[in-house]
Amino acid sequence: MTASAPEPFYPAPSLSQRAQDMPRSAIRRIFENARRLQESGVDVVRLDIGDPDFDAPQRVRDGISAALAAGRTHYSPMAGIPELRSAIAAYMARRWGVDCGPAAVTCHQGATQALNAVMQLCCDSCAGVLLPEIYFPNYIQQVTLGGLRPRFYALDERFVPRLSDLESLLDANTRAILINTPSNPTGALFPEETVRALYDFAARHNLWVISDEAYCEFVFEGRYVSPLQIDWEQPAEQRRVIAIYSFSKGYACTGLRMGWTVSPREEVAGQLMLMNEPFTGSLTTPLQYGLVHAFDEDDTPRRVEALRSRWELAGRELRAAGLPFDPPEGGIFFFVDISSLRTKDGQPISSQDFCDRALNEAHVAVVPGAGFGLQPVYDSSGRPSSFIAGEHAAKGFRLCFAVPEERLKLGVERLRGFIAGL
């Protein structure tokens, strides 16, 4: 009897190298761990995720419901419905003095999707992009997936860019610089002279400026100046800023996932519109009709004032707990310094260990600073073989104060007790 031939073995295909190389967000790791604890019945104080506890305005919700009832559930224009783009353009002129018109506005399925599109619009594979050394983790994920090469510009003790260090970061492949003010996670509001110096640096070296404006409405001290405002002081042919905005924070619509970009010229906006095709196929139609009504009433200042009281409370509670921080001028976060903390045996504690233990032992969720400063280490093939945390970012943790005041106080009290027991 002839033995039958063995069944052929066909191994499963591997994942792309870029997908495997992409680091996980420290925010989402803490988020998932905190959620699992909550599902097991533990009372966790959530100071981790940047999701203000305000509900979306009723007029927005009613507008979405009306759009659904009217059957507005079909494909929309790739740049967004004309009504929304016009409403955004009017807001930009009224609020920021940028008379861009609807043609410069492109709507996106969230500011994160917009950032990803803008990164790929400005930079070819292997191109260089300048990022702050402490940054929103999605930046490094998008850079890695796009095959870009990040260089990191230093921040001073107030988390403001050290302008003298910028020139040394440039090479022939550098294509863009990313600016985020007020910053996530530090809350730093860059002075006007710094913003203008960054813009001038980009102009001298023919760089795109990618301006993440997610927290532009949340300013508690100082005056906000956007790179976009400076850009629109220039002739159209010299403009270089693409600004990204979100409905999530200023209009309390984090779960709706809608944002927009303002481009320096119509042809740039048109290319971003084309990039929506492979990224999203179309934008969620009823959401757009609802969000037109976000601009019907200027109630953002009421949310800012509610946040201001929590910002003040967080500062008082953190000082009472003996936790050092540089007061944030904007945003919804404190970046708290734990570099001087020591355990009972005199050992320093890393931000990762601090946050993991605070969650598991004190049941309060904050995010390790190390996750806001990951820097790739490249192997001989040019692949990021690992990521190491920058020293400045690794000194602290991020705490979100956009929560009810009683939960904020409880969270800081738990942190104080946890630190006393280290």
Q: Looking at the predicted structure, is the pLDDT value of residue 1 above 70?
A: no
383-386 long-range CB contacts below 8 Å, 24 or more apart? 383/17, 383/21, 384/21, 384/144
The string of pLDDT tens digits covering residues 165-211 is 999 999 999 999 999 999 999 999 999 999 999 999 999 999 999 99
3-state secondary structure 345-361: CCCECCHHHHHHHHHHH
What share of the chain in percent tops pLDDT 90? 87
Helices 138-145 and 111-122, packing angle to 10 deg = 40
What pLDDT does residue 167 have? 95
8 A C-beta contact, residue 286 and residue 73: yes
pLDDT-derived band of residue 39, with 50, 70 and 90 as boundaries?
A: very high
pLDDT-derived band of residue 325, with 50, 70 and 90 as boundaries?
A: very high
- The partner residues of 210 in beta bridges, in order of sequence, read 178, 242
What pLDDT does residue 362 have? 97
Q: Looking at the predicted structure, is the pLDDT value of residue 11 above 80?
A: yes
What pLDDT does residue 351 have? 95
Residue 329: closest CA among 192, 188, 223: 188
317-326 long-range CB contacts below 8 Å, 24 or more apart? 317/408, 317/409, 317/412, 317/413, 318/399, 318/412, 320/412, 320/416, 321/412, 321/415, 321/416, 321/419, 322/416, 322/419, 323/415, 323/419, 325/396, 326/157, 326/158, 326/159, 326/186, 326/188
Over residues 381-399, the mean pLDDT reads 93
Q: Looking at the predicted structure, is the pLDDT value of residue 225 above 70?
A: yes
Q: For the chain, first and last CA: distance in Å?
A: 73
Report d(CA 236, CA 339) in Å as an integer. Answer: 46
Report d(CA 32, CA 218) in Å as an integer. Answer: 27
8 A C-beta contact, residue 48 and residue 400: yes
The string of pLDDT tens digits covering residues 341-381 is 988 888 899 999 999 999 999 999 999 999 999 999 999 88
Quickly tell me which residue has 């310094």 as its tokens.
337
Average pLDDT, the chain: 94
DSSP code for 237: G
Q: For residue 272, how far is the Cα from the chain centroid?
A: 19
Over residues 76-80, the mean pLDDT reads 95
- Taking CA atoms, 119 is separated from 80, 130, 178, 191, 340, in Å, by 20, 11, 9, 25, 37
Q: Looking at the predicted structure, is the pLDDT value of residue 334 above 70?
A: yes
What pLDDT does residue 284 have? 95
Report d(CA 50, CA 186) in Å as an integer. Answer: 12
What pLDDT does residue 256 have? 92
pLDDT-derived band of residue 321, with 50, 70 and 90 as boundaries?
A: confident
pLDDT-derived band of residue 5, with 50, 70 and 90 as boundaries?
A: confident
Q: How many CB atoms neighbour CB 261 within 10 A? A: 28
Quickly tell me which residue has 């990204």 as its tokens.
244
Two tokens, residue 260: 């927009």
What pLDDT does residue 213 have? 96
Amino acid at 316: R
pLDDT-derived band of residue 422, with 50, 70 and 90 as boundaries?
A: confident
What pLDDT does residue 326 have? 92
Two tokens, residue 195: 């913003």
The string of pLDDT tens digits covering residues 49-73 is 999 999 999 999 999 999 999 999 9
What pLDDT does residue 2 have? 67
Report d(CA 113, CA 377) in Å as an integer. Answer: 26
Helices 300-320 and 405-420, packing angle to 10 deg = 20
> Which pTM value belongs to this model?
0.93
What pLDDT does residue 4 have? 79
Ranges assigned E (strand) in 247-365? 259-262, 333-337, 364-365
In the chain, the domains with their CATH numbers are 17-55+299-420 (3.90.1150.10), 58-296 (3.40.640.10)
Q: Looking at the predicted structure, is the pLDDT value of residue 141 above 90?
A: yes
Give 3-state DSSP helix, strand, coil % of the chain, rounded to 5.
45, 15, 40
Ranges assigned E (strand) in 118-167? 128-132, 149-153
8 A C-beta contact, residue 330 and residue 189: yes
Report d(CA 351, CA 366) in Å as an integer. Answer: 10
Report the DSSP pairing between strands 259-262 and 105-108: antiparallel
